[in-house]
Amino acid sequence: MFIDTAVISVRAGRGGDGSVSFRREKYVPAGGPDGGDGGRGGHVLLRADEKLSNLSDYRYKTKYAAPDGERGGPVQRAGTSGEDLTLRVPVGTLVYDDESGALLADLSGGEPQLLCKGGRGGWGNKKFANASRQAPRFAKAGVEGEALRIRLEVKLLADIGLVGFPNAGKSTLLSSISAARPKIADYPFTTLNPHLGVVTADADTSFLCADIPGLIEGAAGGAGLGHAFLRHIERCRLLLHVVDAAGTEGRDPPADIDAIDKELLAHSPELAEREQIVVANKLDAIADRSVLDRLRERAAPRELVVISAATGQGVRELVTLCARKLAELPPIKVFSPDPKPDEAAAKELPAKTEITQEDGVWAVTGEWLKRLMRDINFDDMESLAYFERRLTDGGVYGKLEELGIAEGDTVEIYGLTFEYVR
């Protein structure tokens, strides 16, 4: 089964905690702190793999996590960093933040993309030693790794896209100009998945052509099969608009051109403006040649090429024309990631700290407070003093006073309760 979209959750590894340890050796009194730092959590990376054609690997397994970093040890032994997790996806995969919809990366090249950073390892108590605090009995906890829920979406990397109604002859055309062998039969929706083929124009020129499953009226709105694959022609530099000129399905060939044009426009105005060649196929089955004049009039100002994919008539000339057009067109489109929020501006914003009051108890919450609580040894006076300074510097006490806290009121921070004293 061809799977071209998937939603997965990824999490980088948590950094290892720093260690609280003191040097203890014979004949070395008061050896001092020697706790080592924790290891970094593993990153989550994405890499495009040419051997993959779809996202079937992510159909059933939807949660991925990189290993955590190890805890630091005594004698300043640093914890081992978590191993990076690399997820492989087909070339041409776009990565979106599923919550915000922002484009994070376009996996069109071979370089891996960093998706989630592993958390930093915590400092051991050795890092907190100074002239006035020679025996710190606390260490810093490791930081949680980044986590995301992402949407993967494959957009094929092809120079040319074949579009048109079912049974217009797209698959037959692809099989006649390349080594691709899509399923061909005399009934609608024979092609259920996109197919790629390498077309050789001459000894020095070749290009990639994609056969997109047939569109029908209303495809851009979800009708038929074509709507699921319209995204795959968004990168194509040139579109071959294949029309059943013989009307073997009982449709009016000129009207088919208009119908497909409307679907392309409904899906993307930019796609509707893409360079096109209208290909009038099934020349061998045309009974009334006057239809070609009507097609030429309807296709204008686009170029009309008349072929028979079944017999090969005009196919070579079409390939030569495509090669000439591609030489003049810009390269395959690569999507630029959406800009990230300005980090400098983000630093000026207040921390996401919430303060609520009920029955004389002031509850203070915030992610930074959660991280701070993990770093504190509440049995150690120096560690408690450090905690008090962080609350003051973080503006917690100032905000409480602004909201009207009174001396003797109770403050609660993630299970820790204490009496407020001015």
Structure tokens given for 363: 């509850």
Full-model pTM: 0.69
Band (pLDDT 50/70/90 cuts) for residue 354 is confident
Cα-to-chain-centroid distance, residue 289: 50
Q: Taking 60 as the threshold, does the pLDDT of residue 317 lie above it?
A: yes
Q: Once rounded to an integer, what is the mean pLDDT over residues 220-240?
A: 68
d(CA 327, CA 300): 22
Band (pLDDT 50/70/90 cuts) for residue 183 is low
d(CA 226, CA 189): 9
pLDDT tens, position by position, 150-182? 999 988 788 998 988 888 888 889 988 887 665
The winner for highest mean pLDDT among 153-167, 332-346, 373-387 is 153-167
SS3 state at 113? strand
Domains of the chain in sequence order: 1-155 (2.70.210.12), 160-328 (3.40.50.300), 343-419 (3.30.300.350)
Mean pLDDT of the chain, nearest integer: 84
pLDDT tens, position by position, 12-21? 999 999 998 9
* 232 closest CA partner among 170, 299, 302, 325: 170
pLDDT tens, position by position, 184-224? 545 454 455 677 888 988 888 889 898 877 565 554 444 44
Q: What is the pLDDT of residue 214?
A: 59
pLDDT tens, position by position, 66-94? 999 999 999 889 999 999 999 999 888 99
Structure tokens given for 370: 């959660």
d(CA 277, CA 299): 9
d(CA 420, CA 201): 81
Q: What is the pLDDT of residue 184?
A: 55
SS3 state at 176? helix
Residue 279, Cβ neighbours under 10 Å: how many? 28
